Chain A
Amino acid sequence: MKRITSLALVVFLVISAVSFVLAEETTIDEATQKEVKVMDYPLGAEIRLLQLEKSISKNIAKGEAVIEAFETIGEDTSELQFILNELKTIKEEVQALDSESETAVQDFVDLKKDARDTIKNFRDTANEIKSSLDDETLQALRESFREINEDKEFTEIKERIRNKIRQHNTERIRAIFGENAEQLKEQVQNGELNKEQIRKRVREIISQMTQEEKQGIFNEVREKNLINENTAKNILEKVKENFNERMTERNTNRRENQKGDS
């Protein structure tokens, strides 16, 4: 009896483990899900790809500072250098993307995930030897990270993103008010208002409208937002298909290219 129970338990555990493995689903983090919503607009995809390029560039600069810090105390940095080169390759791949391509959202999600994974790999490796750095070096690293975060080195791409965001925001206002609300459009185009201030000004303009006009605007924007949400949801579902296979293929290609280069 004991044997039968033990056997049944083992079989059950094996079946559970197998079903858990099969049920494991690719998940896309919440921030990315939110980010892709604007990619349905003409400038949205372009903005997201530029933002990804900028974030990777900043991390590359930080990675170089980390490697330099370890090199000054004679630590072996070959593994960190290898990972950083991989991140540089991902940046080149992002730069080569076409924001108008049908696969722009998929490419964005894929390469953002690759960048995050590669950065985590770098972080884990750097953290393992972090204790060899003295307080003074750590303080100097923090200082150079602060400077990198201030975007001084990234003025060109920052400017491009800013102009495109202003243009995108102005187009969103134009889509609601048409040829009206000229002053607001001008302020948005000149970057005089932040998101909350724009929302407040939109509220003020809407509050002066008739109930029918308000309802019309609400319905129109709500409908467009729902369509965007559904489109993003459907695209993300599609992105999840063969997600791991695509990732493995990209990683293999990059590693092979790195080997070929060295």
Chain B
Amino acid sequence: MKIATILLLIILSTFFIAGCAQTDDYVDDTGDNGVPGDLDEGASDEVGENILEEDEELDLGDMIDI
């Protein structure tokens, strides 16, 4: 009986932890509506997001671990 109760508690707490881990939505609580204090930096960062590096590689993993 005790074992069953402990098992039940473990299962329920696993569900609780798994549920908490999924609430990872980003919340913007800075109060600046996304506008940075330094506009020069903010604007260049936004531009930089669309600039690509010439030597960028897509990582597909290794063929063997050596």
Partner of B35, one of A13, A199, A218: A218
Report the Cα distance A123→B63, complex, angstroms.
5
Contact A59 B48 (CB under 8 A): no
Contact B48 A195 (CB under 8 A): yes
Contact A162 B63 (CB under 8 A): no
Q: List the B residue with the shortest CB-CB distance to A142.
A: B66
Contact A199 B11 (CB under 8 A): no
Q: Which residues of B contact A169 (CB under 8 A)?
A: 51-52
Contact with A along B29-64 (1 / 0, CB 8 A): 000001110011111111111111110111111111
A246 to chain B: closest CB distance in Å?
19
A150 to chain B: closest CB distance in Å?
11
Contact A38 B52 (CB under 8 A): yes
A214: interface (CB < 8 Å):
yes
Partner of B60, one of A115, A173, A176, A202: A115
Q: Which residues of B contact A238 (CB under 8 A)?
A: none
With A12-B8, A211-B39, A222-B34 in contact, is A59–B50 under 8 Å at CB? no
B54 to chain A: closest CB distance in Å?
5
Contact B66 A120 (CB under 8 A): no
Q: List the B residue with the shortest CB-CB distance to A67.
A: B63
Partner of A207, one of B1, B40, B52: B40
With A9-B7, A191-B54 in contact, is A55–B48 under 8 Å at CB? no
B9 to chain A: closest CB distance in Å?
12
Q: Which residues of B contact A257 (CB under 8 A)?
A: none
Report the Cα distance A127→B66, complex, angstroms.
9
